[in-house]
Structure 1
Amino acid sequence: MYIDSHCHINFPELAARLPDIFGKMADNQVTHALCVSVDLPDFPQVLALAERHPNVFASVGVHPDYEETPEPSVDDLVRLSDHPRIVAIGETGLDYYRLQGDLEWQRERFRTHIRASRATGKPLIIHTRAAAEDTIRIMREEGAGPDAGGAGGVMHCFTESLDVAQAAMEMGFYISFSGIVTFKSAKELQAVALAVPLERMLIETDSPYLAPVPHRGKTNEPGLVRHVAEFLARLKEEPLERVAKQTTDNFFELFNIAR
């Protein structure tokens, strides 16, 4: 079986066809999905999905790309995460690709999420783009990893270098690969995936974006995560069953979910 460790099925592209989404998950042996929060106004939709569907879990957090949105406090995140269906804090992190200028507010927001993760014991879902150095630095400064008293987490939709992956893994984080790793142009990322041990790996869609080959350019959905697993199995010359089992086990272990 497979688990989509990061999706946005509350987004309009997918929310309007949820019965079909869940049907295709079943057809592809995708047993669970984590629906990830990107802002507080839409968080109730994310939580409602997890409450209605036993195979959907949820997170709470505010994405670094969302500038004009209510700013969360540590207390906000701690309070909203106090629910059995909320298994993570995020998505959070830094993104210097889309936004320019003084981004200190983004770094402070990231620190807020790490502090909420430490307070709740719920792991972080980290987004980093064109900001790896500051991302790793702040993770270290705030003690995001288990060895520093944090809850750890996952570097989602990973596209950075092997050095960044190793720095994150040294802090106890998992590395999650999306459909990007299946793209023909993603040779450097594929080399990273080859080097990351299965024991530290998750798979995801980040749907409705980044559909994997052979569906590239189409709307992505959780049922397509098996293509990511199949590609990684070929890349690493591992049995598909081992990739499926290990990434599934990793998901339940990281997010402290009973089997």
Structure 2
Amino acid sequence: MAAKAKTQNPVIETIKTVVYALLIAGVFRTLFFQPFWIPSGSMKQTLLIGDFLFVNKMAYGYSYASCPSIRLARFGVNIDAKGICGFIDGDNTRIMGGEPQRGDVVVFRHPVHGADFIKRLVGLPGDTIQVKDGVLFINGSAVKLEDDGLFSETYEAQGPQGSAPRCENAPVGRGGTCTKSRQLETFPGGTPHAILNIGNQPMDHTGVYQVPEGHFFFMGDNRDNSTDSRLPQSAGGAGFVPLENLIGRADRIMFSSAGRSMLFFWTWRGDRFFKAIE
């Protein structure tokens, strides 16, 4: 008579399944793709508040920043990526690294407080960058600009943070149409991407930035509503971002919700599903 197979405790089996699933998800998130939810309007119109995308971590190789930070404020959990992969921090290099290209939309860790930022890569190591009268100059030459009408949106609370957009035609009442001037900007050897402006602002006039070796310069496409490399880190900006702080390249929007939650299906933006990021 055959012996009966030993029956496993269902609770233990469930715990093992959950642990295995978390390990697989952690490896996948660390090595291949990281989910990212757009919380602010600094990259409009390229990225809207509520866009959900996966960041390609294979594009630039791996550093300590490739490891995820685990922050669960409700449970008092705050484990930074440096606490997990800090043993490979400090030399500003990457493993299996690919070269970032000017014009890439990149997620990176802020060099000071470690928060994830997403901006467009404008300046490469050794470049000079300046903004004069709202026009971007790279290595002393103005980038190509073409007027492209207006970007319009409803003036209302947007996303989980409930932030309202800034408007060139301000003041605008709630529910009114908020507009910004739109231009197509083309980097040398690159393809056009849209940028937005709301008029003459302090950051439309900067000094000359010299990008150090091993560092990069980033700007948001919503030029007058972006905290980026134009501001030094001491003033809350991103400043020059080290190579090792790059997390990955944003290639495609997977899903988008205009509401306060992705569960509000009536706010889903059907025209942004699987939309390529340019």
Instruction: Name which one, 1 or 2, has greater alpha-carbon Rg.
Output: 2
Higher relative contact order (CA 8 A, sep 6+): 2
Q: Which has the higher helix share?
A: 1
Query: What TM-score bracket applies, with the shorter chain setting the length?
Result: under 0.3
TM-score by length of 1: 0.24
Q: Which has the higher strand share?
A: 2
